[in-house]
Amino acid sequence: MSEQPSENREEQRQKIQPMQQMTISASTQELAELIDLRLGDLRPREPAWRVADSPISGRGIFATRDIAAGEELFREHTLLVGPTAHRSTNLRTCTLCYCLIPGDTDLDALCPAGCGLPVCPDCRTSDRHQLECKLFRKWKPLETQRIEPRALRILSVVRCFFLDEPQRKLLYAMQANADRYYMKEVQRAAECFQHFPKEQDMLDYFYRTICAFNTNAFESRSHVGGHEVLVRALFPLAGLLNHQCTPNAAHHFEDGETIVVCSTERIPCGAEITMSYAKLLWSTLARKIFLGMTKHFMCQCVRCQDPTVSPEHCIP
């Protein structure tokens, strides 16, 4: 099949948005130790993998023995998680247990204390909600009758306040790409409160967290009592999986907050374990545009370089 016209290549390059990487404050070895500590009981007794520097990009995960197809490699709980608050989702979802909150209106779902967060009656008295409620009330939400998606979306970021020291270290050890839009989410949220924080160190912490989300987050779709829930979640170990368009691993969510990564084919000892950030059946062009715009890189994998595949060809 024909070679891709050079004009197309130039268009693709222009679609890759300018981006800087924020400084990573841990060596690969320190990151591996922080991850081990974080996994705790979930750490396999004899992991079939290790964290190391990657020839693809930055750090990655590598097989330490031959791995058979279909093996579970690891499972991990989220470091930070929160509602995506897309307008297409049902905003009357509890911010803690993700159940659909009983009632017909936003007012039925909102916390009666006035924090502006939807929370179910069972979770309203929980310590976790009390912390978040107190913080949001201190900032004085402007909208108290309706669920404000911009204020709800920032919750997953604001939760970085409640991380302990090792968790913060882990957050700062994750790659964080700063594209030209990363401040927008904070600006949009700030418009929803009378006293949103203005201190630079606090804003910098939010920005860092947003960039870590933009670079590493998984969007997890799950069902709670037949109700579809969409959250964005950060998993420090799974977030180290680099992308290949012909990956050797895949993930699923056990619940909104636990990810499970399995091999999808035999992985020889020493090989990098990879996943696909794009849909596998997308055409080369669709994958390139998606990866360029959202992850800011041009994939150089064998499939992307294959001159026999037409760039627009999708697998039906």
Ligand X SMILES: C[S@@+](CC[C@H](N)C(=O)[O-])C[C@H]1O[C@@H](n2cnc3c(N)ncnc32)[C@H](O)[C@@H]1O
Residues of the shown chain interacting with ligand X in the complex, contacts defined by CB under 6 A: 54, 56-60, 175, 177, 215-216, 239-240, 242-244, 295-297, 299
Least Å distance, CB 176 to ligand X, is 9
Q: Which residue is nearest to ligand X (CB)?
A: 58
Calpha distance 163→158 (Å, rounded): 10
Residue 206 or 213 having the CB closest to ligand X: 213
Q: Residue 85: which of 192, 179, 162 has the closest Cα?
A: 192
Residue 161 or 290 having the CB closest to ligand X: 290
Least Å distance, CB 178 to ligand X, is 11
Least Å distance, CB 303 to ligand X, is 11
Residue 141 or 247 having the CB closest to ligand X: 247
- Assess contact for 110 and 92: CB atoms under 8 A: no
Least Å distance, CB 78 to ligand X, is 14
Calpha distance 177→164 (Å, rounded): 23
Least Å distance, CB 298 to ligand X, is 7
Residue 47 or 149 having the CB closest to ligand X: 47
Residue 180 or 223 having the CB closest to ligand X: 180
Residue 78 or 93 having the CB closest to ligand X: 78
To the nearest 10°, the Cα dihedral for 84, 198, 107, 110? 60
Which helix (DSSP H) or strand (DSSP E) does residue 50 occupy?
A: strand 49-53
Q: Residue 274: which of 78, 76, 57 has the closest Cα?
A: 57
Give the 3-state secondary structure of residue 36. Answer: helix
- Assess contact for 242 and 62: CB atoms under 8 A: no
Least Å distance, CB 112 to ligand X, is 39
Calpha distance 95→82 (Å, rounded): 7
